[in-house]
Amino acid sequence: MKVGIDLGTTYSLIAHLDANGKPLLIPDNNAPEFFSTPSAVYINDRSAVVGSLVDTMLEQKPDLPVIRFFKRSFGTDKPLFIDRNSNPWYPETVGALVLKKLKFDAESYTGEQVESAVITVPAHFNDHQRKSVLNAAHLADIPVLGLVEEPVAAALHYGIVNNSIDNVLVVYDLGGGTFDATVLCLNETGVYVLAKDGITELGGKEFDEAISSMILDQYKKATGMDLELSAAVALQLRRVSEEIKIELSFPSKTFVKKTILLGSSAFEVLIYRRDFELAIRRMIEQTIEVTLHCIDSAGFRETDINALMFVGGSSMMPVIKERMSKIISSPKQKIFLHEPMKAVALGAALHAAQLSGEAGQYNIPPEFRGVTGYNIGIQTINLQTKSVEIDCLIKKNMPLPAQNKRTYFTTNVNQTRIVLQVVQYASLSEPMIEVGELTIGPIQNPSVNYPVEITVENTIDGIIKVNAFDPNTGVEIQQKFTHSSQTLGFNFLSQKQLIANTQISNFAL
């Protein structure tokens, strides 16, 4: 069985195709009435609890050190948690536990083994973050067919379900922890991404926190005191804030008034939608700015767009549709929600059929073309000015896979190695992302200005690969491309052993 996995910031889902090629979500084995698993993990000695049972445990012990939002830490080098045995747990290892839970759910429900998976990632995930997702899958013993970007997966599902062709579509994807804007074209042969952009740390989490701040302000006005945020109170506050946000997402709701319990204090809270929207206005405007920039990067004007699709739970807030309706305003332009909580996983299952060569038997358009999410370059030193410069080899929004070559030269007669820093960047005005250090050599028969040809590739999954050749001989030169995490603690084999020694207590491995 091939599956599609939406590894989400707050919730994760898994889907497969039935015998007729229809994508279906697989329910949580512990809570069959739900088709999503909370992306939450509790680790204790040599055991772990994953998903909905974590929330159940928090009811009894709210101070449990639960790991959430690990997806936001993909691509970083620091452990999220140190257990009682002094073992470090990295984002990839925590993510692997969630993936193992989803795999178990799928195999328990269908009676089939998971052979491989397509896993979704935010469109703006960089090389480090994508490799972290792949590492998490490898730690979970899930062979990966490929990665697919969340808004693209949702658009693929929309296009197939609605038989939508010859449309230029903008996907506005605002989930629990990230925001993506993607411009793509749907036709009878497949899905073609034209441009993409996004914000890594902006989503429902920030909106929940805005409501929490409003509640705390009202508490202080009502009691004259600041609320003491113990673990139990913080949990209550997080949950009630999310509930209020969801209620305010219904068009008919202009305010929420309810009596809530925080710690030992019960008081009435009143949140008006207009005040909530004012509190998050700057964040919403950020997403709109990114969307407009994405449309421009694709070479379009707002009037060229046929449809705007909202994906992700936070995209359901009325203020977002109101703002975007002023931009996509022609009567011929369509604005709609399409399975905002499900489409990503369902689309990933469809993409699994595309990648495995099974698209034809299910009448799924076979082609898929993505674009690069960042400029990719190599840092060089200007010998005249002694300043650092960026030699851009692959530009943002180029069709994938993308490849380019550049020749570099040694600077002295005894130089046997060349060391280069590979970087990604959205624009020169934004911080550089150091992808890794490329060490080339030993160079045989070194001399001044000895040429070395560097090939940089951005694969169909958005992963960066680098090779070095001797243009004089045509022979590949020994080279080492080192990611920073390889030198700062993360060890795949030790993390693999850590998972093997951990009993995931809410299902049998």
Model confidence at 449: pLDDT above 70: yes
Average pLDDT, the chain: 89
pLDDT digit string, tens, across residues 124-158: 899 999 999 999 999 999 999 999 999 999 999 98
Confidence of residue 414 (pLDDT cuts 50, 70, 90): confident
Quick check: 509 pLDDT over 60?
no
Peptide bond into 88 cis (omega under 30): no
Highest mean pLDDT pick, 61-70, 107-116, 462-471: 107-116
Q: Note the pLDDT of residue 223.
A: 83
Give the mean pLDDT of 78-99: 92
Residue 383 reports pLDDT greater than 70? no
- Please give the residue that has the higher pLDDT: either 384 or 497: 497
Long-range pairs, 142-145, Cβ under 8 A, ≥24:
142/5, 142/99, 142/103, 142/114, 142/116, 142/117, 143/115, 143/116, 143/117, 144/116, 144/117, 144/118, 144/119, 145/2, 145/116, 145/117, 145/118, 145/352, 145/355, 145/356
* pLDDT confidence tier of residue 371, bands split at 50, 70 and 90: very high
Full-model pTM: 0.90
How confident is the model at residue 507, as a pLDDT? 52
pLDDT per residue over 314-370, tens digit each?
A: 999 999 999 999 898 888 888 988 888 899 999 999 999 999 988 888 888 888 889
Instruction: Indicate the SS3 state at residue 438.
Output: strand
Structure tokens at 469: 């050749």
pLDDT score recorded for residue 477: 87
The dihedrals phi and psi of 303, each to the nearest 5 degrees, come to -70, -15
Q: At what angle do helices 91-110 and 127-139 cross, to 10 degrees?
A: 50
Q: Which of 3.40.1440.10, 3.40.50.720, 1.20.1050.10, 2.60.34.10 is the CATH number of 375-487?
A: 2.60.34.10
**Is the model more confident about 504 or about 498?**
498
What is the rounded average pLDDT of the residues 292-298?
95
pLDDT exceeds cutoff 50 at 423 = yes
Per-residue confidence at 488, pLDDT binned at 50, 70, 90?
very low
Residue 487 has pLDDT above 70, yes or no: no
Token pair listed for 251 = 């068009």
Please name which of 191, 192, 146, 200 lies closest in space to residue 173, comparing C-alpha atoms. 200
**Residue 404 reports pLDDT greater than 90:** yes
Asked if pLDDT for residue 102 goes beyond 50, the answer is yes
CATH assignment, 2-161+341-369 = 3.30.420.40
Q: What is the mean pLDDT of residues 267-295?
A: 95
* Cα-only R_g, the chain: 24
pLDDT tens track for 38-58? 999 999 877 899 998 898 888
Q: pLDDT tens digits for 195-219? A: 999 998 899 999 999 999 999 999 8
State residue 412's pLDDT score.
84
State the virtual CA torsion across 135, 25, 347, 94 in degrees, nearest 10: -20
Given this model, what pLDDT does residue 484 score? 54
Domain parsing of the chain, residue ranges: 2-161+341-369, 204-279, 375-487
Transcribe 299-361 into DSSP letters: T--GGG--EEEEESGGGG-HHHHHHHHTTS--TTSEEEE-STTTHHHHHHHHHHHHHTT-TGG
Q: For residue 109, what pLDDT is reported?
A: 95
Q: Report, as an integer, the average pLDDT of 270-297.
A: 95
User: Where does the pLDDT of residue 506 fall: very low under 50, low under 70, confident under 90, or very high at 90 and above?
Assistant: low
pLDDT category at 93 given cuts 50, 70, 90 is very high
* Check whether domain 204-279 has CATH 3.90.640.10, yes or no: yes
Percent of the chain beyond pLDDT 90? Answer: 56
Q: How confident is the model at residue 508 (pLDDT cuts 50, 70, 90)?
A: very low
